Chains A and B, each alone.
Chain A
Amino acid sequence: DAGVIQSPRHEVTEMGQEVTLRCKPISGHDYLFWYRQTMMRGLELLIYFNNNVPIDDSGMPEDRFSAKMPNASFSTLKIQPSEPRDSAVYFCASSLATGGFHEQFFGPGTRLTVL
């Protein structure tokens, strides 16, 4: 398996523009997670899905952020409009389960820079 795939790897955009980050989880994994990593706040969970259904989106910073999982092999995280403070590395991860001993597999991340 190719692992978790994220695209793009780098994104530079201007304030006010819409940004869409994409993730393909490992085939067969039931859970998908979106994280944001910054120097100031560390690794923060934004939202996670179970069987394509959002379970907990309490980490989504504000209404400018939205996430979807239209099918088991694809998810998007959208920021509209983007702001400079959204600059961060965004990770997608997938796992077989959220509890117990199942590990998460992380993608390489998308480095977002909002000018």
Chain B
Amino acid sequence: AQSVTQLDSHVSVSEGTPVLLRCNYSSSYSPSLFWYVQHPNKGLQLLLKYTSAATLVKGINGFEAEFKKSETSFHLTKPSAHMSDAAEYFCVVSDKRRFGAGTRLTVKP
């Protein structure tokens, strides 16, 4: 079975500081992993995906994630937060039926 665990339900950062949203996965084989973003009162939008081509994946809006098999992690990062990054972020494993619980990112001015 496959599953993901998002380690933080809420992350708060100041504008201009780095963002780290953590995701650990469980899979019996090499998974595909995704990060989605949901802005308030909106649907979900794909940020980036890992499909085994490269362990460091770059997505939209300056986000990137690194697949670390040894740590079973796929953490999402951004060097400098922007106010518009405030949203809910979901980590998802291959079969796309199992979403993480979500991490709410707050960006303070």
Interface of A with B (CB < 8 Å)?
4, 33, 42-43, 45, 48, 56, 91, 93, 95, 98-101, 103-109
Contact = CB atoms under 8 A, between A and B. Distances in A.
Contacts of B49: 101, 103
Interface in B39-80: 42-46, 49, 51
B94 A99 contact: yes
Interface in B64-109: 90, 94-99, 101-102
Given A101-B49, A103-B96, 19 more contacts: A43-B90, A43-B102, A45-B99, A56-B97, A91-B43, A91-B44, A95-B96, A98-B96, A98-B97, A99-B94, A99-B95, A103-B46, A104-B44, A105-B46, A106-B36, A106-B44, A106-B45, A108-B42, A109-B43
B61 to A, nearest CB: 16
Nearest to B32: A101
Q: Kindly list the 4 A-B residue pairs having the minimum CB-CB distance in the complex, ordered from nearest.
A: A101-B51, A106-B43, A106-B44, A43-B99
B51 A107 contact: no
A104 B96 contact: yes
Residue from the set A33, A93, A101, A108 with the largest chain B CB neighbour count within 10 Å: A101
Contacts of A48: 97
